[in-house]
Structure 1
């Protein structure tokens, strides 16, 4: 604060000018204070003024304040005897007192109450291409009422239809087509004349009436492909009495079509140059009477009227037009888009899903915000974590309470006595918070001003310790006349010795500088050293248009930073669909994501095929979209988080070099395969198998036969080996025998195998011994 004040000499500032310098600046209104310029400035920080002798009660330092005027408690249930007093936002009225550049804040709580009444108006395209859809909704009323009564006990249903402007070139206008535009069309020879919008059934709880009206309807035929649906939407929104919208109910407008709509300026093709006035134009036949008089409404006008009448618009469109209508939802607050089957058979589930999706989020909007006010939001959703820059909470359950902290800052001062107001309102709610604003741009001491005071040489008004001199007089005490100049005054007009008098941008008169006027802006300061046009610029705009130039320095408005205030602190544009800042893969700088994860890209770094968690993230989308299972299947966020195109195939091929192959095991121990790739257009594409690959269970008989066969096979092999070994052995013995036989020599007629029974053995005998014995015996 001291540094800010040091750059601005404030001796002769008035109290009002002092308060505008900075929210920390205070003004001393004490008499006989501030005689010495360099030490005794009346404009300074409050603590500095007190140190220099200014009494606390003489210090003017107003602060911004918030006062709650009306705050009734939130309701817990919608229907019942007190449904007209249902409160879904708290508080209901607040009064703000703002000092410029000083912030104050207040807290807003919002709750989607249970069993809230619902009004649903079904607006159907009855062009020729919707004939099969008309057949499908013949009994829609009864079935839809049964489903919606599971969500609310107080439900009403209405019906309307549209085709296009009954004029060239939008419809067939030749005489032979006047009564029957399908004249000569072989497939459907009979249809009714074209019409812009026709209200057929006001909102009622007698759903049989809906079925009766649908049974009566016939299709029509227009010439070009686009339809006049936006004309019908606007009339259904603004003709509240005809449609029967209840003030205390939740308003749903279902828009069913299979083609694109005509937009503003298309009417010039038929000579319609008058813009739509946004009013109800319904004749006694409940038909839109301005169809051939005014152009189609613009998206901005549609968004304004839908929000003004608290209507949620649900686009129920065919798949090939989903992207177009999805882009419309970003331009029209409070709208959603769902994919409609070619014959509208899924319309009931579509409406229920859209209703649940709408009821699962709360988003704040600001109406009639004054230009000199800056608002910043911080959301605290069901997890209790503050989210700066967000004014929206998603994935809520009925009955959840969320809160938003709203900071308000005044960037300037309107004319004295000005009171302004604005409204904070959840999208689609009838409940609102009304905020009134007054400004504290002046000091309280101004009410004690003394005219022709002797302290001002009887030539001026003494206000808050300073003199406001009459015309023609100057000086701290109004002691000088304009035009007086001299050396005695010159020194007081230099910022320092050697500096130019009045910085070369003013004249010195009666010891004070009179700054020149400039075509570029204002020159001010004790020595004309400051101006409001010499600050940094961005794209040629001073302080980027998001700040004020004070003495060469940009003082940024709330929500912006940087030397030229070009960097937004808002993070709303960086929040991805899953609620994370930059999808958890980058940082939000100046309202844009700077992706830090290698391979990540996209506005919120949401695209990253090569990231480690890419397969895991896309797996959840495959599970919920194809098999209605997994973490996202139960919390109604599948359609919001999983917007990638999914292509199912019988056999997965990975010919695309940029595609990432992902695999995971299912609960049944099967393997699911899919690829993740990014098209040049930026759209993510998932190509997955229709069914996971599962191994078949083994057959018991097959296993038994395989085991028995294996045993027999092993036995046969062993027998074959044994036979082979024996044969080899026998052959070797036979070969040995043959060899021995070939070597044997024997006489003819002698069997070589025969052996004599008597064996002869030669014995050697010594006959000399026997001879002696014999001789002895003879003697």
Structure 2
């Protein structure tokens, strides 16, 4: 059950009242959304209450049936009421505001209040969240302590000359913020050992260029001026500073910042002030591990080592790590402003990301813009309010919900409001949840980063039942052999059983012991004793108990994640992890999220799989990552053809029951042209017509949108006259062709015979002889007119 009560237009106290009321109503049984009681080993009301936030105990005397385990009394309110329970026992959260001084309007007192309330006591039932409101308002004119920490390596020579005249401008800029400003000054170069600094005796005394007469000896970090409101003193001290030098480019910035953070008495930090360190440099920085180059192996101990205003352990102790520095700055409410030249801005922006409440500004080559840079950085720091916690006890979760015009959601462990003006009141909802019972009262603090004000939250857990029991020692419900404790019998010595009706040493032990054996196996699985027909389980080696009807379960052999049982995000119950709200997976290793499973149409795995551990587990055939494509699935062009035909053209095998067979899986659209980008389907229907359509699979397995072209390509009916005429013409044509072919064959045969005759004729030999009966003419007359 998740209830979100947030209304920026209402006062926060009203919002919290509404949330608490809704939580109480739901816990009282008027809403059961997601209420589950995950029962483990339940032998008493206290065991029930510790099983989960929605577990409730039924105190009715005759609630359980004869022989039924008393664990049945433990369930959700809805389930118990359904079974007729009338007396319900469960603890609720209690909130007590111990100190709630009003917010100060301006800085007119030594300790102005900027955060309320200041002390709260919570009594929580494990697993059930408690929400309360805190308010913050930055006091007008709140004091500012600014410690100017400058790199005095030789490359910063022109910057030093500029800074020597900035005292007046710095104080003027701070006086616009508050009338209670102080400024201090410190300088750093690097460790005075090789390879960071030339250790030649003369070079140690004068590490600068030979032509530069005003050069001070090499040093690591020097404190020059404690925080003071005297601008003349600041100008005088800074004007006495000279440049120094070293060998390598990175400087000992972290060494200097660490000493400035932990040497509060020397620096002069006030208890009630905004603490700023302005670091100006044109180079990167050495950090933990770099000391090995000089044979320095002693890690930084985060302690103050100052003598005569010099860092005495510079050559004996390694540089601090970024984590060490960030922790010390946060603990001492110090906010760094990195005023660096453009060439190292990326480096310090990465550093700023690891140090809460820090800013980076681009410093000009001669530092002439440092005052404006500090003003801009301070405005950004002061306008961004980040609330977080410290010393949080184990098994306690805290979530912040900022209530402001420009709330920034970064992570649950902190709340951030940006663009907050001085004197503007903002609020945060703080939700605290204890996941397990705590043996004693614990406490933690909530505070805005960079601000001294804190809220101390004392927290204890309610894990015991407060039952109103009858005073009879020999109650009739327990057969006169025991008393009633939260609805169940507490038997006198020598008696056991649900109603104390079984005396130790009864003769009918065989049947009693048989009821303690699972499938005729070992009695109580060898993990318990059979007492009066019921298993009383032993404890495990770690001190927890076996449980189950036959002591078959324990809570120590669940899957591990990151070497933690159930990943530390759930409880082991009989070998299976019961995950806390917001976690899932076999080892509770995943946060509940569906973002990695969402598709472009905002579905989850296209409805063809389940989202587990922010990853789709697809049904058979569908492919990860989103279950969009199916390999080996039937072609919908073929499987949906009959539905397309009946839905689009009211024909085909499904014509009579088309709406029943197809309307729930296909949503057809008759179109003139396609808009779906998939490949078109072209199939022949039951009437022999060609149908063109496109399919788009929607969310789900058998769910399609279809675009069907309105026109079908159907064959024209046969022309009988043309067929008959064509047939006759074809027969006649074939007959003529056959006659011509026959004529041709006869002609070829005659030609062949003629040629044969001619050849035979040429081969014959004739005799030349005159006819004896022939006589020539007696008279021959020539025609004189014949010309020949």
Q: Which category of TM-score, normalised to the shorter sequence, fits these structures?
A: 0.5 to 0.7
The alpha carbon displacement at 1:254 in A equals: 0.6
Structure 2: distance between partners of 1:324 and 1:333: 16
The alpha carbon displacement at 1:121 in A equals: 0.7
Partner of 2:461: 439
Which residue of 348, 353, 369 corresponds with 1:330?
353
Task: Confirm whether residue 17 of structure 1 aligns to residue 50 of structure 2.
Answer: no
Partner of 1:429: 451
Structure 2: distance between partners of 1:6 and 1:130: 67
| Gap change, CA 1:61 and 1:8, over 3 Å in 2 | closer
| Gap change, CA 1:2 and 1:398, over 3 Å in 2 | closer
The alpha carbon displacement at 1:257 in A equals: 1.2
Q: What are the superposed Cα offsets for residues 19-73 of structure 1, whole Å, 9 maximum, x if unpaired?
A: 11111112244556545354863323345546666553xx430012222111122
Partner of 1:647: none
Partner of 1:164: 190
Partner of 2:379: 356
Which residue of 287, 291, 305 corresponds with 1:281?
305
**Secondary structure class of the residue paired with 2:379:** helix
For residues 289-304 of structure 1, what are the structure 2 equivalents within 5 Å?
289-304=312-327
Q: Is the 8 A contact 1:474 1:480 kept in 2?
A: yes
Q: Is the 8 A contact 2:38 2:51 kept in 1?
A: no
Which residue of 10, 24, 27 corresponds with 2:57?
27
Structure 2: distance between partners of 1:385 and 1:273: 42
For residues 270-669 of structure 1, what are the structure 2 equivalents within 5 Å?
270-283=294-307, 285-382=308-405, 389=412, 391-415=415-439, 418-445=440-467, 463-466=485-488, 475-476=497-498, 477=500, 479=502, 486-490=509-513, 492-493=515-516, 504=525, 506-507=527-528, 509-510=530-531, 511-515=533-537, 523-528=546-551, 530-533=553-556, 538=561, 542-551=565-574, 553-557=576-580, 560=583, 564-568=587-591
Task: Confirm whether residue 236 of structure 1 aligns to residue 267 of structure 2.
Answer: no
| Gap change, CA 1:7 and 1:159, over 3 Å in 2 | closer
Structure 1: distance between partners of 2:421 and 2:181: 20
Partner of 2:233: 209
Q: What are the superposed Cα offsets for residues 100-132 of structure 1, whole Å, 9 maximum, x if unpaired?
A: 111111111222233222111101111111111
TM-score of the two chains, using structure 1 as the length reference: 0.65
Bigger drift between 18-27 and 426-435 goes to: 18-27
Structure 2: distance between partners of 1:28 and 1:316: 66
Q: Is the 8 A contact 1:449 1:464 kept in 2?
A: no
Which residue of 73, 81, 88 corresponds with 2:102?
73
Q: What are the superposed Cα offsets for residues 184-225 of structure 1, whole Å, 9 maximum, x if unpaired?
A: x34535522222221111111111211111111011112222
Structure 2: distance between partners of 1:267 and 1:132: 29
**Secondary structure class of the residue paired with 2:460:** strand
Structure 1: distance between partners of 2:483 and 2:391: 39
Partner of 1:64: 93
Q: Is the 8 A contact 1:379 1:387 kept in 2?
A: no
For residues 737-776 of structure 1, what are the structure 2 equivalents within 5 Å?
none
Which residue of 141, 147, 150 corresponds with 2:167?
141
Structure 1: distance between partners of 2:211 and 2:354: 39
Structure 2: distance between partners of 1:592 and 1:5: 23
Quote the RMSD (CA, aligned, Å).
Answer: 4.1
Which residue of 74, 79, 103 corresponds with 1:43?
74
Q: What are the superposed Cα offsets for residues 400-454 of structure 1, whole Å, 9 maximum, x if unpaired?
A: 3222211111121233xx1100000100001111100111111224999999999
Q: Is the 8 A contact 2:36 2:54 kept in 1?
A: no
Gaps of 5+ in 2: 1-31, 597-601, 605-610, 617-788
Partner of 1:753: none
Bigger drift between 530-539 and 203-212 goes to: 530-539
Structure 1: distance between partners of 2:472 and 2:501: 14
Which residue of 265, 271, 274 corresponds with 2:289?
265
Q: Is the 8 A contact 1:505 1:516 kept in 2?
A: no
| Gap change, CA 1:30 and 1:354, over 3 Å in 2 | same
| Gap change, CA 1:386 and 1:173, over 3 Å in 2 | closer
| Gap change, CA 1:7 and 1:309, over 3 Å in 2 | closer
Structure 2: distance between partners of 1:593 and 1:139: 62
**Secondary structure class of the residue paired with 1:509:** strand
Q: Is the 8 A contact 2:38 2:52 kept in 1?
A: no
Structure 2: distance between partners of 1:590 and 1:245: 52
Partner of 1:775: none
The alpha carbon displacement at 1:313 in A equals: 0.8
| Gap change, CA 1:257 and 1:8, over 3 Å in 2 | same
Structure 2: distance between partners of 1:422 and 1:541: 25
TM-score of the two chains, using structure 2 as the length reference: 0.64
**Secondary structure class of the residue paired with 1:21:** coil
Q: Is the 8 A contact 2:170 2:371 kept in 1?
A: yes
| Gap change, CA 1:380 and 1:561, over 3 Å in 2 | farther
| Gap change, CA 1:590 and 1:163, over 3 Å in 2 | farther
Structure 1: distance between partners of 2:259 and 2:575: 53
| Gap change, CA 1:526 and 1:330, over 3 Å in 2 | farther
| Gap change, CA 1:386 and 1:224, over 3 Å in 2 | closer
Q: Is the 8 A contact 1:116 1:154 kept in 2?
A: yes
Gaps of 5+ in 1: 575-584, 595-779
Task: Confirm whether residue 223 of structure 1 aligns to residue 247 of structure 2.
Answer: yes
**Secondary structure class of the residue paired with 1:434:** strand
Structure 1: distance between partners of 2:34 and 2:233: 74
The alpha carbon displacement at 1:561 in A equals: 5.0
Task: Confirm whether residue 254 of structure 1 aligns to residue 278 of structure 2.
Answer: yes
Task: Confirm whether residue 193 of structure 1 aligns to residue 217 of structure 2.
Answer: yes
Structure 1: distance between partners of 2:505 and 2:154: 84
Q: Is the 8 A contact 2:287 2:321 kept in 1?
A: yes
Partner of 1:719: none
The alpha carbon displacement at 1:485 in A equals: 9.9
Q: What are the superposed Cα offsets for residues 595-627 of structure 1, whole Å, 9 maximum, x if unpaired?
A: xxxxxxxxxxxxxxxxxxxxxxxxxxxxxxxxx
Structure 1: distance between partners of 2:615 and 2:214: 56
Structure 2: distance between partners of 1:7 and 1:136: 70
Task: Confirm whether residue 179 of structure 1 aligns to residue 210 of structure 2.
Answer: no
| Gap change, CA 1:131 and 1:466, over 3 Å in 2 | same
Structure 2: distance between partners of 1:558 and 1:88: 35
